[in-house]
A and B are shown apart, each in its own frame.
Chain A
Amino acid sequence: DTEVTQTPKHLVMGMTNKKSLKCEQHMGHRAMYWYKQKAKKPPELMFVYSYEKLSINESVPSRFSPECPNSSLLNLHLHALQPEDSALYLCASSQEGLNYGYTFGSGTRLTVV
């Protein structure tokens, strides 16, 4: 298995909702990432997990809460989002140390209404 699987592919949520994005990989990668991508912009790093521990948090608002239950799974819990949070959310994984390239998931297209 050489893929990163993200669910759901599309999500529409209200500003008072709570939802979760899920990411799964079975390549034995020990580093996992959440990126946010707005239209016509590059991906922006949100969080990095290394060996299931949060190692980097790029000053992301607390309405985004990451979780890494085990080495294959990564979740992003969403609560009280704003319309400007609408974007493509990409999960990625890599071997620890990075210098092997990221494998990106297909992303979740999130719309906040």
Chain B
Amino acid sequence: GENVEQHPSTLSVQEGDSAVIKCTYSDSASNYFPWYKQELGKRPQLIIDIRSNVGEKKDQRIAVTLNKTAKHFSLHITETQPEDSAVYFCAASYGNMLTFGGGTRLMVKP
């Protein structure tokens, strides 16, 4: 089955700095890669996703890149704000199976 590894497990940045979270996946058949943000005590919320036929996608301060050959994808957050503090999960899927990475706790210090 699919295995997704996510790094780092914790990330602390100063407000205004950029944050980068990286994930690798094992199953070359995976073709959809969403990112979720989960605030304490709340549900995971989809913040951006990318499909295997695209190399990069951007939505305001958030961007995701995908390298299919190397089987890794990354989340980039620019101009971080305190409200970006949360746990971020990457995931990979083929069909109905969505496998999550271990999560990254992002802390943005004002």
Q: Hey, which chain A residues are within 8 Å of B102, CB to CB?
A: 41-42
A18 to chain B, nearest CB (A): 26
Q: Which residue in chain B gives the minimum CB-CB distance to A94?
A: B96
- C-alpha spacing A55/B31, complex, angstroms: 20
A33 to B49, CA, bound (A): 19
How near does chain B come to A54, taking the closest CB pair, in angstroms?
A: 11
The range of chain A's interface size is 20 to 34
Number of A-B contacts (CB under 8 A): 56
Contact across chains for B103 and A48 when beta carbons are under 8 A apart: no
Q: Verify A43–B100 contact, CB threshold 8 A.
A: yes
In whole Å, how far is A100's beta carbon from the nearest beta carbon of chain B? 8
Indicate whether A42 sits within 8 Å of B101 (C-beta atoms), given known contacts A98-B32, A99-B93, A101-B34.
Answer: yes
Chain B residues, Cβ within 8 Å of A104: 36, 43-45
Number of contact residues on B: which range applies? 20 to 34
* Closest residue of B by beta carbon distance from A6: B43
Which residues from A are CB-within-8-Å of B20? none
Q: Cα distance A45–B34 when bound, in Å?
A: 16
Given known contacts A43-B44, A55-B96, A106-B43, A101 and B49 CB-to-CB distance under 8 angstroms: yes
A103: chain B residues at CB < 8 Å are 46
Question: Does B29 belong to the interface (CB within 8 Å)?
Answer: no
CB of A107 closer than 8 Å to a CB of B: yes
Q: Nearest chain B CB to A99's CB is how many angstroms away?
A: 4
Chain A residues near B34 (CB-CB < 8 A): 101-102
Contact with A along B48-60 (1 / 0, CB 8 A): 0101000000000
Q: Does A56 contact B (CB under 8 A)?
A: yes
* 6 A/B residue pairs, CB under 8 Å, sorted by A: A33-B96, A43-B44, A43-B89, A96-B96, A104-B44, A106-B43
- Apart from A43-B100, A98-B97, list 9 A-B contacts with CB within 8 A: A31-B96, A40-B103, A48-B97, A94-B96, A98-B32, A98-B93, A101-B34, A104-B45, A105-B43
Give me the interface of A with B, judged by CB distance under 8 Å: 31, 33, 40-43, 45, 48, 50, 55-56, 90, 94, 96-99, 101-107
